[in-house]
Amino acid sequence: MSQLTFTVNGIKVCGNRHEPLLTQLEKAGIKPEYQCRNGMCGACRCKLISGSVTQQDALAFIGPNEILSCCSIPQQNIEVHFDYQLNTEHQSTKTNIAL
């Protein structure tokens, strides 16, 4: 399985094609806001700047070029932006996620 690179508010992390983006970011020490983890609330909404994801059906409203990180599985390298400062557990600019 090939490794992917995610750029999240300028922070680069490594990821995969089989877990939701929210889960992968948390494993990398990046803590986006969320409430439900199933696409109902929209708290994990972010802007997809580049790349592509497969997004499961969700009830929360999303605008053009927005995704829900809890329901989105990256298909290639992506760049996303959250409209708030993310809490992080690390200071480095690159973190590996075990595949």
Domains annotated for the chain, with CATH where assigned, are 4-88 (3.10.20.30)
Q: What is the pLDDT of residue 91?
A: 45
CA distance 74 to 85: 22
- Cα–Cα distances in angstroms (integers) from residue 59 to residues 21, 39, 91, in the given order: 18, 6, 35
Q: What is the pLDDT of residue 88?
A: 87
Written as tens digits, the pLDDT of the chain (99 aa) is: 579 999 999 999 999 999 999 999 999 999 999 999 999 999 999 999 999 999 999 999 999 999 999 999 999 999 999 999 998 875 444 445 554
Q: What is the pLDDT of residue 99?
A: 47
Please report, as a single letter, which amino acid is at residue 15: G
